[in-house]
Amino acid sequence: MKDKDFTVLIEQGEDGMYVGIVSDIDGCHTQGKTIPEVLERTKEAIEVCMESGDKEIVPLEFVGVQKIRVVV
């Protein structure tokens, strides 16, 4: 086994729940009432996603986050 670092995007929904999204793994996300809770649940979700996958997951290099406003 080998340690891997994943970048996790954490957002807060209108209901106050935090959502952890792992962009390196399709469909890998979870939620929690607090940031520590969502981080722990995200670790568990990553482990489950990696165990069920049939290909090796290689995390991407984190570059940055930028908000972009679009008028619709």
Sorted by where each starts, the structural domains of the chain and their CATH numbers stand as 1-72 (3.30.160.250)
Burial bucket for residue 3 (CB in 10 Å: 0-12, 13-18, 19+): exposed
**What is the average pLDDT across 64-68?**
90
* Tokens standing for residue 59: 């995390």
pTM, two decimal places: 0.80
- Is 3 a residue whose pLDDT tops 90? no
Q: What is the pLDDT of residues 4-58, one digit of tens each?
A: 899 999 999 999 999 999 999 989 999 999 999 999 999 999 999 888 766 778 8
How confident is the model at residue 4, as a pLDDT? 87
Report which residue type is found at 13. G
